[in-house]
Amino acid sequence: MDRPWTIARTTGPAPAAGLSRRRCIEALALLAAGPVAAQRPAGPVATSGRLWRAGPGQRLATLRAAVAAAGAGDTIELLPGRYRADVAVVAQARLTLRGLGRGAVFEAAGRSAEDKAILVVRGDVTVENCSFRGARVPAGNGAGIRFERGRLTVRRCRFFDNEMGLLANNDPTQELVVEDCAFGAAPRHEGLLHHLLYVGAIGSFTLSGSRFGQGWRGHLVKTRALRNRILYNRLDDGPDGEASYELEFPNGGDNLVLGNVIVQSPRSQNPALLSMGAEARDGMQGRLVLAHNTLVNLGDEHGRFVHLWAERLQGEPSVRSADNLFVGPGDATGFDAGKDGNRHVGLDALRDAAHGDDRLVAASSLAGRAVALPADETPRFEFQAPAGTRPLPPGLRLSPGALQRSG
What is the predicted pLDDT for the residue at 23? 34
10 pLDDT higher than 70: no
Sequence-distant (≥ 6) Cβ neighbours of residue 47 within 8 angstroms: none
What is the predicted pLDDT for the residue at 8? 38
What's the one-letter identity of residue 50? R
φ, ψ for residue 370, nearest 5 deg:
-70, 150
Report d(CA 340, CA 373) in Å as an integer. Answer: 9
102 pLDDT higher than 50: yes
DSSP string computed for 302-346: T-EEEEE-GGGSSSPPEEEEES-EEESSSB-TTS-TTSTT-EEE-
**Of the candidate ranges 34-48, 56-70, 234-248, the one whose mean pLDDT is the lowest:** 34-48
What is the predicted pLDDT for the residue at 48? 57
Q: What is the mean pLDDT of the chain?
A: 88
Report d(CA 165, CA 184) in Å as an integer. Answer: 8
Report d(CA 167, CA 381) in Å as an integer. Answer: 27
How confident is the model over 391-401, as a mean pLDDT? 95
Count of beta carbons in the 10 Å neighbourhood of residue 406? 10
Q: Quick check: 298 and 353 in contact, CB under 8 A?
A: yes
Strand 272-276, strand 304-308: pairing? parallel
Report d(CA 375, CA 360) in Å as an integer. Answer: 23
Question: Running DSSP on this structure, what letter comes out for residue 365?
Answer: T
DSSP string computed for 93-130: TTEEEEE-TT-EEEE-TT--BTTTEEEEEESSEEEESE
How confident is the model over 349-375, as a mean pLDDT? 94
Q: Quick check: 336 and 342 in contact, CB under 8 A?
A: yes
What is the predicted pLDDT for the residue at 136? 96
What is the predicted pLDDT for the residue at 9? 42
Count of beta carbons in the 10 Å neighbourhood of residue 24? 19
- 269-307 per-position pLDDT tens digit: 888 999 999 999 999 999 999 999 999 999 888 889 999
Q: Quick check: 28 and 8 in contact, CB under 8 A?
A: no
Report d(CA 157, CA 381) in Å as an integer. Answer: 20
Helix, strand, or coil here: 248?
Answer: strand
- 116-162 per-position pLDDT tens digit: 999 999 999 999 999 999 999 999 999 999 999 999 999 999 999 99
Of the two residues 40 and 128, the one the predictor is more confident about is 128
How confident is the model over 65-71, as a mean pLDDT? 96
Report d(CA 336, CA 245) in Å as an integer. Answer: 22
- 202-229 per-position pLDDT tens digit: 999 999 999 999 888 889 999 999 999 9
Question: Running DSSP on this structure, what letter comes out for residue 140?
Answer: S
Report d(CA 379, CA 367) in Å as an integer. Answer: 15
Question: Running DSSP on this structure, what letter comes out for residue 16?
Answer: P
